[in-house]
Amino acid sequence: MLRGKRILITAGPTKEFIDPVRFISNASSGKMGYAIAEELSNKGADVILVSGPTNLKCNSSQIKIVQVTTALEMLQACQHYFDSVDIAIFTAAVADYRPMIMESSKIKKNDETMTIQLTKNPDIAYEFGKGKRADQLSIGFALETDNIVEYGKGKMQKKNLDFIVLNTTNENGEGFGFDTNKISLLFRDNSIEHFPLKSKKEVASDIIASLEEQLQQLFT
């Protein structure tokens, strides 16, 4: 089902620089995206992994890795592949905002307080969803601390996703940095499938199994 499919995956955080030595980011390790990329490659998919800055190494030489740093760089890299992919999976924790101005030299510690003006970053999944063809699928991720299902439904509709992976940081072993995760899958018909805490490799397999079901429905 997935052999020969061209699949774009985003993974990891982005860094949005304030000055040459300081930046805004988050605690994403990229482990979930890399796990999905490797499982898909093992199934014969043609995988393009657009990765923000992580300490991870990919175990499959068949995966094309595009390294980026900022949200704008990630968007530009993804746009290059939008028209050619069958599936897009957006696992990256892209920074919502970036500084309006990046200072060219290190900001000196002169005042008791400092104000940084931020501007909104583009939403890469939303940009893909605007032009998504009927023969393309997309999967999003939503990490929330409350109102998880409600926010998930809003994101799925706004970004034209086929399903969305929901998770939180409310329990030990969930979310950023861990080798495990606990997810729920929310589908377009508002059905939800819950999973217990598992290794991210196992979570990747669960997500891919649902993706294969979606593909089967699309082409039958």
- Told to judge if 110 belongs to the known catalytic residues of this protein, a careful annotator would answer no
Choose the catalytic residue: 26, 110, 147, 160: 26
Query: Pick from 202, 189, 133: which is nearest to 163 by CA?
Result: 189
Contact 125, 138 (CB under 8 A): yes
Residue 212's CB is within 10 A of a number of other CB atoms, namely 13
Cα 72 → chain centroid: 14
Q: How far apart are CA 176 and CA 170, in angstroms?
A: 11
Q: Max Cα separation, the chain?
A: 65
Sign of CA dihedral 145, 146, 150, 151: negative
Q: How far apart are CA 44 and CA 52, in angstroms?
A: 24
Q: How far apart are CA 42 and CA 61, in angstroms?
A: 11
Catalytic residue numbers read: 26
